[in-house]
């Protein structure tokens, strides 16, 4: 049953802005205040097609420190699919709490929620209508409603000028790019970094953040029909140069681009031969940071790169970093949202999948399948019905 809470009562209870209230207060609820949540679930690791099911369960009104939230948007990231397959190091908790016959978990690690109601012991600064993103992995974001605690959420006090999609996708890809550019090599204005899979979500973020910090970038992408348009698009975003993997193997061409300036940092999303290329492009003492393995091939690093060029190799994982750096994470998210507001940080190409109460499994599976097969160039994002930007 669709229940509309009176605007006045919500305003009184929450003291949030009228606009926020208007958009916060519609949600599905039973007569006894229970909210019906629809979610994808899996009970065993495996191919998403084989293991994912659509499930409904009831959420009681919040009590004590419980916060009832409504999902606004949840992206489908490569790591989410790896997690369902069981090949990702972070495993979700399998529970009977969802009312499934066997223990199951909700997939999805990243997402944007709106607070709909709070238990009596919830910090009074948290109010209905406010937006929040997940504070860490494994929450299970591919669902329409959930119960959370303050520790699960990063509240977003100022979301003016930030779209739901931008907020929902800020905590993984832009954050990963931000940290890798900041924490490994001491890059200053005018310094070069190089990256492969530059058209990925992380790659596009690195281009834009790098530009904001005054760094120059060499951006490597795979050749394809329409490569000139893609090169132009990434240059327009702030990439200094955009080249194909074949062009990246041409040392003279690289030297022409950099004018002989050493490249201090390389961001590796791919592995295999593409990573080998990055080590060739890096200058003496450069840092290679690996954060993805899209080619599913091991890194192959020439011994000479380690011995004679003193290349330093690192790995980076945003999940592990986030667990240890709560304050820095909040500051980073604030920076990212400031850039979004100032028009300095553009959306990734994305495709939304509307998720309403009667959406069927097949429709939800479609973008997940696309995420497994050849990269479509657009990130799939579930957008739950009644989405509203309260700004």
Site for ligand NAP, rule CB under 6 A: 77-79, 172-173, 176, 197, 199-202, 222, 269-270, 291-292, 294-295, 316-318, 375, 377, 379
Strand pairing partners for 132? 113, 155
Q: Which is nearer to ligand NAP, 190 or 226 (CB)?
A: 226
Closest approach, Cβ 230 to ligand NAP, in A, equals 8
CA distances from 186 to 127, 180, 205, 261 (A): 41, 11, 19, 15
Please say if 253 is a catalytic residue.
no
- The one catalytic residue in 88, 145, 178, 291 is 88
Nearest Cα to 59, choosing from 154, 144, 151, 150?
A: 144
Closest approach, Cβ 225 to ligand NAP, in A, equals 12
d(C-alpha 193, C-alpha 301), whole Å: 18
Closest approach, Cβ 221 to ligand NAP, in A, equals 6
- CB within 8 A of 171, min separation 6: which ones? 110, 133, 134, 154, 318, 322, 333
Tokens of 97: 């709490």
Query: End-to-end alpha-carbon separation of the chain, Å?
Result: 28
CA distances from 302 to 270, 283, 290, 306, 349 (A): 17, 14, 16, 7, 35
Q: Which is nearer to ligand NAP, 28 or 193 (CB)?
A: 193
DSSP 38-80: EEEEBSS-S-HHHH-EEEEEEEPPP-TT-EEEEEEEEE--HHH
d(C-alpha 222, C-alpha 143), whole Å: 34
DSSP 201-227: HHHHHHHHHHHHTT-EEEEEE---TTH
Q: Which is nearer to ligand NAP, 94 or 316 (CB)?
A: 316
Nearest Cα to 211, choosing from 231, 232, 235?
A: 235
Closest approach, Cβ 242 to ligand NAP, in A, equals 12
Q: Which is nearer to ligand NAP, 330 or 375 (CB)?
A: 375
- Tokens 């240890």 -> residue: 324
Closest approach, Cβ 208 to ligand NAP, in A, equals 13
Closest approach, Cβ 209 to ligand NAP, in A, equals 14
Residue 80 has phi, psi (to 5 degrees) of -65, -40
Q: Which is nearer to ligand NAP, 130 or 268 (CB)?
A: 268
Q: Which is nearer to ligand NAP, 1 or 87 (CB)?
A: 87
- Residues marked active site are found at 88
């Amino acid at each position: 049953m669709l229940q509309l809470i009176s605007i006045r009562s919500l305003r009184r209870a929450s003291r949030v802005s009228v606009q926020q209230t208007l958009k916060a207060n519609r949600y599905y609820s039973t007569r006894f205040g229970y909210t019906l949540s629809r979610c994808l679930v899996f009970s065993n690791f495996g191919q998403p097609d084989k293991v994912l099911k659509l499930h409904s369960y009831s959420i009681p009104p919040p009590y004590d420190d419980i916060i009832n939230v409504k999902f606004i948007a949840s992206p489908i990231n490569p790591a989410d699919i790896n997690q369902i397959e069981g090949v990702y190091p972070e495993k979700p908790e399998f529970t009977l709490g969802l009312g499934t016959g066997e223990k199951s978990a909700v997939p999805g690690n990243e997402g944007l929620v709106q607070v709909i109601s709070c238990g009596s012991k919830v910090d009074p600064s948290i109010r209905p209508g406010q937006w929040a993103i997940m504070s860490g992995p494994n929450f299970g974001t591919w669902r329409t409603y959930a119960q959370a605690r303050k520790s699960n959420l990063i509240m977003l006090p100022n979301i003016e000028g930030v779209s739901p999609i931008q907020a929902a996708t800020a905590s993984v890809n832009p954050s990963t790019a931000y940290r890798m550019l900041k924490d490994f090599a001491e890059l200053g204005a005018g310094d070069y970094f190089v990256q492969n899979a530059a058209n990925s979500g992380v790659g596009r973020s690195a281009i834009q953040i790098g530009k904001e910090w005054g760094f120059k970038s060499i951006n490597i992408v795979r050749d394809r029909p329409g490569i000139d348009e893609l090169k132009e698009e990434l240059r327009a975003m702030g990439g200094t140069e955009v080249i194909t993997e074949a062009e990246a193997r041409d040392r003279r061409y690289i030297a022409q681009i950099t004018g002989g300036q050493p490249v201090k940092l390389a961001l590796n999303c791919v592995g295999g031969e593409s990573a080998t290329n990055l080590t060739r492009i890096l200058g003496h003492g450069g840092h290679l940071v690996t954060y993805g393995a899209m080619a599913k091939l091991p890194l192959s690093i020439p011994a000479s790169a380690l011995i004679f060029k003193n290349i330093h190799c690192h790995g980076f994982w945003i999940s592990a970093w986030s667990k240890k750096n709560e304050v820095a994470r909040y500051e980073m998210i604030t920076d990212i949202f400031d850039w979004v507001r100032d028009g300095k940080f553009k959306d990734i190409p994305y495709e939304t999948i509307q998720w309403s109460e009667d959406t069927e499994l097949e429709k939800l599976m479609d973008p997940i399948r696309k995420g497994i097969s050849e990269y479509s160039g657009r990130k799939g994002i579930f957008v739950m019905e009644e989405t509203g930007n309260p700004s």
